[in-house]
Structures are given as C-alpha cells and as structure tokens.
Amino acid sequence: TYVVTDACVKCKYTDCVDVCPVDCFHEGPNFLVIDPDECIDCTLCVAECPVEAIYAEDDVPADMQQYIPLNAELAQLWPVIVEKKDPLPDHEEWAGVQGKFDQVER
C-alpha cells in the first residue's frame, strides 16, 4: 500500500485524488489518508503530489513510520474524497515545515 505522510499536513493539495483508480483517499480537516485495504499500488498518486508526501509503505522514512498506522486508522473514520479541491489557505506557509504529526486534526 501507499501512505500519505507529513508534508500533506496543513497543505492538502488534493492533486492525488484525481488520479486514484480505486478512490481510496479519505479526507480529514487538514490531511488526507490512503485506505491500505483498498490501495492497489498503482503508484499514480506519488508523482501528482507537489510536496512529495506519498510513499510506498516499505519506503516511508524512519521518522515518519507513525503515519502508517495513522493512515489505516483514519481511513476508517473519514469520508472518501474523489475530486480535487483548493488547498488549505495557509498551504504555502506550511509546505516546507516538518514534524507536523501532532497537528493532524481529526
């Protein structure tokens, strides 16, 4: 499966959702996650993300491992998103910031 990680938090560009053939992205207030039970590993979303937030599960960097269970958990709680929308208002300010795990809103 593929995993959405830190760079997405407080940005949420949503380019990724347009290309997913199985509609497995789920949307929260300031972050998106991939449902690991639905993702078919097509890889299409990886190149779409302007901040390179999406990794194959096996390639998630060591300091972002906590995003793997977070994607699985929140995919069960949040609704599916299938169409691109505007990014969050402060996306430019937050795009280069790291360590945003604690700022994911539920």
> Among ligand F3S, ligand SF4, none, what does residue 47 contact (CB within 5–8 Å per kind)?
none
Residues composing the chain: 106
CB of 39 to ligand F3S, least distance (A): 13
Helix residue spans in the chain (DSSP H)? 15-19, 44-48, 67-75, 91-94
CA distance 24 to 57: 15
The binder of ligand F3S chosen from 3, 33, 39, 49 (CB under 6 A)? 49
| Nearest to ligand F3S of 37, 52 (CB atom) | 52
Amino acid letter for position 102: D
22 binds, among ligand SF4, ligand F3S, none (CB under 5 to 8 A by kind): ligand SF4
- Residue 64, classed as helix, strand or coil, is helix
Sites of contact with ligand F3S (CB under 6 A): 4, 8, 11-16, 32, 48-49, 51, 53-54
